[in-house]
Amino acid sequence: MTSCHPTPAASRRVPDPGTTQGGLDADLPVVALVGRPNVGKTTLFARASRRFAESTNAPGTTVSIERRRVEAGGRAAWLVDLPGTLSLDDRPAGEDPAWRLLLDAAPDAILVVAAATDLVRHIPLILACRDLGLPVVVAANLSDEADARGVGVDSGRLSQLLAVPVHRTSGRSGAGVDEAVTHAVRLAAHRRSVAAGAASPHGTVPARIYGSLEPDIDRVSARIRSGRSLGAASADALGLGAYVEAGRVSSRGAATLELGEVLEAPRWAVAERWARELGIAADWHVRQTLADRVARWSVAPWPGIPLFIGVSAGAFLAMVAIGGLLSSALGAAWGATVSPVLTAAVDAIVPWPVLARTLLWGLDQGLLAIVSIGIPYVLTFYVLLAVLEDSGYLTSAAVLTDRLFNAVGLPGRAAIPLLAATGCNVPAIYGTRVLATRRERLIASFVVTLTPCSARTAVVIGALAPFAGPGAALAAFGVVGLLTFAGGWAANAMIPGRQPPLVLELAPIRRPVASLVARKAWYRFRAFAVSATPVMLAGSFVLGGLYESGLMWPLARLTDPVVVGWLGLPSVAGLALVFAFLRKELALQLLVTLAAVQLGAGAASIGSFMTPAQLFVYAVVTSVSVPCVATLGALAGEHGWRPALLMSGGSLAIALASGGVIARLLGAA
Amino acid sequence: MEPPADSAPGPTLASIPPGLSARILSVADGHRATLDREGLRPGATVSVETAMPLGGPIVVRFGHARVALARGVAARVGVQPLSPEALAEVAELAAPAPDAVAVARSDAQ
């Protein structure tokens, strides 16, 4: 069990997924895809539905449940992709155990996706699904990888032992996928047409394989059947009776769910026995491919650690180089083509200069920010991330960094969102979903907000490199890095609970497929653009309005005690710090613009009105303090407003405290 | 049910150097559910692939799967170290130790 949330009350209603779909489609049979992580389930799902679905060669990265209409063998059906799970008791997506996600999808049949390379490990999950009393079809996926390693399995004999159909499939090439899905859809349609509910019409009433535990199963099954009439929540703490009544699962199936923890060991024992019968028990003699050797090297201290440092540095440099190149190219193109047209159009249509300039803040500058930051840095990051994910390297990196991240209460896989954060914090916060518990997600999100994104990196470099030297910029990053670590450490100490120790199945190393990488990067970028664009535009309009109307100036008096008194910065810097909340990447430009207005043309360069020490303080405080409005929105969306505001407050406190101390150390205040 | 590993003194998975193999004898109560799901059960033969420095995780291979375990978890798994000769013998028989077979049978019937 990866988390320990209390079980929701038994009174929980059984949701009806059909009502949200509407129309005739609501009556279509439903096939649910179940499988352990890393079996290529999502790739198979995409192949079957002939549309791209986001998948990752790292455990547990299907973070939301997708449902698609498919046509298989002349029948229409819903195909539901559930998050990869080790057992039906696991909580692969946070609060709910896998079995609840499965039954809430109201499946008429289950397509269990297993790895043909290593079938034994998948038998327990197949048995658990079969126990539910629903028709089950097995897709022995990754058959191409199994062939490459010379791992042959008699799928006919396995099918006999399991008493369920077994199809050899390859999600990557598509071989066998249609057959497996068609088979599952046929069984689902059959069950739907019988519509009897509880018992499967396919004769998959599961064999009684649990020996001495069978009487326990019978007892629990009888209790669940009668539990509703007793009316006592304690008789059915998991709320299984409602699922039995709704015909989602047989009462025996419900009993096997309640006894899931107890039945796990016997299921593995059965798997081992069958494995010997199939002659696949002693498979540590499997042929080692080059990929296997690379996988071994990638987690060995040597050459794994230097390799990791090289890959991280390479990814960071590629992002800075490609991102910077694209950013200036797109920015220049925007300035040469779109910007003049927009300016002319707005000036022509809007008669009031103040309003016209406010609109241009949003339409011209705001869109430019998305084009010159969003596309170059975020899209580049997503491409790099997709390559690392699909190659399987991310789980190796998680092992290498585990010890390091443990210090702040995070598992090694937190490296994924933190790498994302150096591009943009918004996708990084969504990326914290790869972590197992809410506690880990909260800590990681807080560390993400403290991590300088590309916009803040640009502010630090832009403020310090020209006026205080590249060394000062590096030192500022060092300080920010330390503050980030300290923030994570503090969050780990303050948020109750403790970190579950690492137990992680490693992904095999695979060659990424270019088309899958491109589509995944684009899919995620689109999601980012859709959520971040409105916020950035709104922020730009508000900022423009406050600036153009002159309403922002009185605010400086409010910030003076802190900004001038504590941080030792000029009054105008306070405004820039406050309004950088709306557009972080403008923190520097805003400072120069405001200073020029207040102090006259002589202040056109920040070096003329701020000392290097003041610039250092300004850079650190900007980088650490309150995330931008888009990040705040993402935080609130993922965790709720209270944690979002607490994290923002925390980052502000860290920024102001450290800024004041640095100012005193450097003699700026 | 075997006794908890911490009450049984002896070698643990954390003490097996990389490159060597061991047969799992027992798993401490707190970790049994998690390790069960990975197939790391009494009777399974695993080889230790790497051990990260500074008390970092270890990586074990068994069959085709590779699983990373925090050192603290590995220290709660009681094992019997296997010499290369013993390992070859096990591989030849294509079956885990007889006691594991007996456990499997009694569980399954």
Better-predicted residue by pLDDT, A141 or A197: A141
Provide the residue count of chain A.
669
Q: Which of A194-208, A386-400, A447-461, A538-552 is predicted with the least confidence, judged by mean pLDDT? A: A194-208
pLDDT, residue A450, reads 94
Q: Give the strand pairing for B45-51 and B58-62.
A: antiparallel
Check CB contact of A281 with chain B, cutoff 8 Å: yes
Q: How confident is the model at residue A224 (pLDDT cuts 50, 70, 90)?
A: confident
Q: Which two tokens stand for residue A432?
A: 């914290």
Check CB contact of A399 with chain B, cutoff 8 Å: yes
Q: Using the beta-carbon criterion (under 8 Å), do A501 and B61 form an inter-chain contact?
A: no
Chain A residue whose CA is closest to B69: A503
Q: Using the beta-carbon criterion (under 8 Å), do A299 and B35 form an inter-chain contact?
A: no
- Of A501, A496, A503, whose CA–CA distance to A439 is shortest? A496
For B10-35, what is each residue's pLDDT tens digit? 899 999 999 899 999 999 988 888 89
pLDDT (mean) for A534-559: 84
Check CB contact of A18 with chain B, cutoff 8 Å: no
Chain A residue whose CA is closest to B68: A504
- Of A433, A464, A507, whose CA–CA distance to A623 is shortest? A464
Distance between A161 CA and the closest CA of chain B, angstroms: 14
- A130, A204 in Cβ contact below 8 A? yes
Q: Global pTM?
A: 0.77
pLDDT, residue B7, reads 41
Q: At what angle do helices A251-258 and A214-230 cross, to 10 degrees?
A: 110
> Following CA atoms A611, A613, A617, A620 in sequence, which dihedral angle do they give, to the nearest 10 degrees?
110
- A266, A124 in Cβ contact below 8 A? no
Better-predicted residue by pLDDT, A56 or A432: A432
For A479-492, what is each residue's pLDDT tens digit? 999 999 999 999 99
Chain B residue whose CA is closest to A295: B66
**What ipTM goes with this model?**
0.77
Phi, psi of A504 (to 5 degrees): -135, 125
Q: How confident is the model at residue A11 (pLDDT cuts 50, 70, 90)?
A: very low
Distance between B51 CA and the closest CA of chain A, angstroms: 7
Q: Residue A343 pLDDT more than 60?
A: yes
Q: Residue B87 pLDDT more than 80?
A: no
Give B-chain residues touching A505 at CB under 8 angstroms. 38, 65-68
For A643-661, what is each residue's pLDDT tens digit? 999 999 999 999 999 999 9
Hunting for tokens 């407003």 — which residue is that? A641
Q: Which of A226-230, A581-585, A614-618 is predicted with the least confidence, judged by mean pLDDT? A: A226-230
Check CB contact of A209 with chain B, cutoff 8 Å: yes
pLDDT, residue A461, reads 82
Q: Which of B37, B64, B90 sits opposite A264 (nearest CB)?
A: B37
Distance separating alpha carbons of residues A146 and A116, to the nearest angstrom: 6
Helix residue ranges, H only, A612-669? 612-624, 629-639, 641-666
pLDDT, residue A205, reads 59
For A381-426, what is each residue's pLDDT tens digit? 788 888 888 888 988 888 998 888 888 889 887 887 887 787 778 8
Q: Residue A90 pLDDT more than 80?
A: yes
Mutation pick from B32, B34, B52, B87 vs chain A, by most beta carbons of A within 10 Å, is: B52
Q: How confident is the model at residue B79 (pLDDT cuts 50, 70, 90)?
A: very high
- Of A530, A541, A323, A298, whose CA–CA distance to A430 is shortest? A530
Better-predicted residue by pLDDT, A220 or A283: A220
Check CB contact of A287 with chain B, cutoff 8 Å: no
Chain B residue whose CA is closest to A504: B68
How deeply is A371 buried, as exposed, middle or buried, from its count of CB atoms within 10 A (0-12, 13-18, 19+)?
A: middle
Q: Using the beta-carbon criterion (under 8 Å), do B107 and A276 form an inter-chain contact?
A: no
Over chain A, what is the mean pLDDT? Answer: 83
pLDDT (mean) for A153-173: 88
Q: Which two tokens stand for residue A199?
A: 């018992």
Give B-chain residues touching A207 at CB under 8 angstroms. none
pLDDT, residue B103, reads 43
Check CB contact of A334 with chain B, cutoff 8 Å: no
Chain A to chain B, count of Cβ pairs less than 8 Å apart?
Answer: 145
